Amino acid sequence: MTINIDDFRVPEDREIDLKKWPTRVPRVYRNDDDYQSILKDHVKRLSREQERLYASGTYAILLVLQAMDAAGKDGVIAHVMSGVNPQGCDVFSFKHPSPLELKHDFLWRTTRDLPERGKIGIFNRSYYEEVLIVRVHPEILRAEALPDSGSGKSIWQERYQSIVGLERHLDRNGTRIIKIFLHLSKEEQRQRFLARIDDPDKNWKFSEADIEERGFWKQYTKAYEKCLSATSTKHAPWYVVPADDKLNARLIVSRILLDTIERLKLEFPRAPATRKKELQKLRKQLAK
């Protein structure tokens, strides 16, 4: 099956109902061997593109991963980025803001970690937490000690505008943004939570807080729908990737990432004529 990334792209300026977006689609691989073969090809090509990205130093790539708990964000990073040179890729995870971070605007802590040109940056959760978990848990918003004007119903629309403005600014300055929402069903999450309990090696990945957050499923779904509808743009689109099949999700994400970078048509820098003459002189010295 051919992966058409536009099948997963959220249209700009359209209200999103996640019930109409599947959490499982037909497999893009025939069997485990075929999955490994496709992933290997994607990883190899991505590694080559990352070399060009690093060498040219013109663009940066920001991959934003958002999802409900147990949707497979860590697995996507580990498998899709397995062939990328660690020197050219940085991964950042954002949890509850620190006291220092709470004293700044909501974009401050993530802006510090944006990728430089030539690099791929991955945000495992991101500034979007400020219109997701903060919307579901208003006590976090109160802890941010905003002026009175920042505590009304308009705050979410204002934050969407700030995010879209930031992403447009980044795009103008060479950062290409890819935003992935791993769309997991509530039943699949339940099965994965049970697997974490039953596997001693995965007990550390599960806590009572996971169960508590699961109780807010409807609220998170609504927050994601509002967020996706308001912030998917031409220059920074959202992709809703069905996540009930982990292997399928990894191949779709890797295809989205690869297609985005390949569209940049990156090339290795070409040495000018004077530099080529210098290199030939050096070559003669090494040949002695």
Enter the pTM of the model: 0.93
Note whether 145 and 106 are within 8 A (CB).
no
The predicted structure's pLDDT at residue 150: 55
Residue 122 pLDDT more than 90?
A: yes
Show the tokens assigned to 81: 């980025």
Residue 97 pLDDT more than 70?
A: yes
C-alpha to C-alpha distance for 139 and 241, rounded to whole angstroms = 30
**Phi-psi sector, 99: left (phi>0), alpha (psi -120 to 50), beta:** alpha
The predicted structure's pLDDT at residue 148: 66
The predicted structure's pLDDT at residue 275: 83
SS (H, E, C) 130-195: HHCHHHHCHHHHHHCCCCHHHCCCCHHHHHHHHHHHHHHHHHHCCEEEEEEEEECCHHHHHHHHHH
Domains (ranges, CATH) in the chain? 5-287 (3.40.50.300)
Q: Tell me the mean pLDDT in the region 157-161.
A: 96
